[in-house]
Amino acid sequence: MTELSAAHDAAVTDRDRLAGSAYRSDRDLAARQSLYQWQTPRYDLPGIVAEQLSGVRGHVVDVGCGNGKFIQRLRDDRPDLALLGLDIAPGILVGVPGPVAVADATRLPLATASVDAALALHMLYHVPDIPQAVRDLSRVLVRDGLVIASTNSDQDKAELDDLWQRAAGDVLGTGRGPARISLSARFSLEKAPAFLGEEFGRVETIELPGTITVHDPEPVIAHMASYRAWADQHDVPFEATIERARAILVDHIARHGAFEVTCLGGILVCRR
């Protein structure tokens, strides 16, 4: 492991940073989620998860439930399910319909074979020991249970990475600046099947490609600014780079009418 990747992993998985800053509230997570309003095609991600759970009865745990978008949808669509939300960040759980609890994904406070399905949606990349988290998801699951994970591809939103490097380079006067931090790199869509395959014999990947098209820079800027919890990891003045990115976007949209971002996320449906 290189020094850079070690520092990256430490920053992305640091519990104090996650609970005390990145997910202290849902402000930054909501900013990242809201960018998808401008994606074509539009995916109803909570609806897709609910559909995958159509054959499940009993208990479902949402590990790393964040601001509860999936729990809320399941409460509406599947009132028959017994739902539990878990997250390491107490602050982000404030608005989530209960029951909820603060918990570590590698030490789930659940009995062995006690849940019929487990969700791990856009969160396993934040876990220091991903294989242990996968083992614990398997442990709490009944024999014929279901795990649904999600993450983004290594190629997801490459245009935002390029925009950041252009803006950072302008701020530093170096041409192209350093890359911004990638949250999903440790458990990307390309890496996830190998992690999950250690415990689950069947791992189906459902890819969700799309293009985000904005005619105003602010949704993109809000998304980029939502990484403020990792501002010290970017090796560049964070706020100045955000402002430079805004100016680049204003010019691009004036010239081309829109700014496009190519997205690739996906859901992994896991069975033994």
Q: Is the peptide bond before 219 cis (omega within 30 degrees of 0)?
A: no
DSSP 41-77: S---HHHHHHHHTTT--SEEEEET-TT-HHHHHHHHH
Q: Please report the pLDDT score of residue 233 as a whole number.
A: 85
pLDDT in tens, 28-86: 999 999 999 999 999 999 999 999 999 999 999 999 999 999 999 999 999 999 999 99
Helices (H), the chain: 3-13, 15-17, 27-34, 45-52, 69-77, 130-140, 158-172, 192-197, 218-225, 238-256
Q: What is the pTM of this model?
A: 0.95
* Mean predicted confidence (pLDDT) in 87-105: 95
Structure confidence at residue 234 as a pLDDT band (50, 70, 90):
confident
- Domains of the chain and any CATH numbers: 3-271 (3.40.50.150)
Q: Please report the pLDDT score of residue 2 as a whole number.
A: 41
pLDDT in tens, 119-163: 999 999 999 999 999 999 999 999 999 999 999 999 999 999 999
- Which helix (H) or strand (E) segment is 147 a member of? strand 141-152
**Cβ neighbours for 111, distance < 8 A, ≥ 6 positions apart:** 140
**Cβ neighbours for 20, distance < 8 A, ≥ 6 positions apart:** none
